[in-house]
Amino acid sequence: MDIRGRTKQRHRLRTRRHARIRKKIRGTAERPRLVVFRSLRNVEGQLVDDDLGVTLLGVSTRSGTEGDAGERSGKTAEAYLAGKKLAETAVGAEVDEIVFDRGGYPYHGRVRAFAEGARDGGLRF
C-alpha cells in the first residue's frame, strides 16, 4: 500500500470513529457540542447546536493566538490558546456548559491541549 492508500485508510477509520461518537452525543442550545478538527498545521473548534443545525461560534489557530500556554510549546501551545479563546468567547455569549466531541481523534496532544484550554477558559464538560 502506498502513502496515499495509508492516508485514505487512516481518514476512513477516523470518520468511522467520529460517526460512532456522534451516535451517542448531541449538542443543544443549553449545552452545545464542541467539535474539534485537527489538521497537520491547525486545530479548529466549533460550538454546534444540533437541534437547529447551526454553528454558534468557531475558533482556529489560524486566527492568531497570543498568551501564556504554561509549559506547552509549538502547535500544542497554539491549540491550548485557541481553546481558551473559544471558551472566553462562549462564556461571553452565556454558554458555560458543553459536550466535548473529539472528532474521532485520540484524546492526547493537541486535542487534549484544546480541551484543557477550554476548561481553563471557563467551560464545563
Which tens digit of pLDDT belongs to each residue from 32-60?
A: 999 999 999 999 999 999 999 999 999 99
Average pLDDT rounded to a whole number, residues 5-28: 93
Residue 32: the pLDDT is 97
Residue 73: domain span: 3-121
| Count of structural domains within the chain | 1
pLDDT of residue 1: 62
Mean pLDDT within 92-119 = 96
> What is the largest distance, in Å, between two alpha-carbon atoms of the chain?
49
pLDDT in tens, 95-107: 999 999 999 999 9
Provide the grid cell at 90: 462562549
What CATH number is attached to the domain comprising 77? 3.30.420.100
pTM of the model: 0.91
pLDDT for residue 55: 96
Q: Cβ contacts of residue 107 below 8 Å, gap of 6+?
A: 115
52-87 pLDDT, tens per residue?
999 999 999 998 778 888 899 999 999 999 999 999
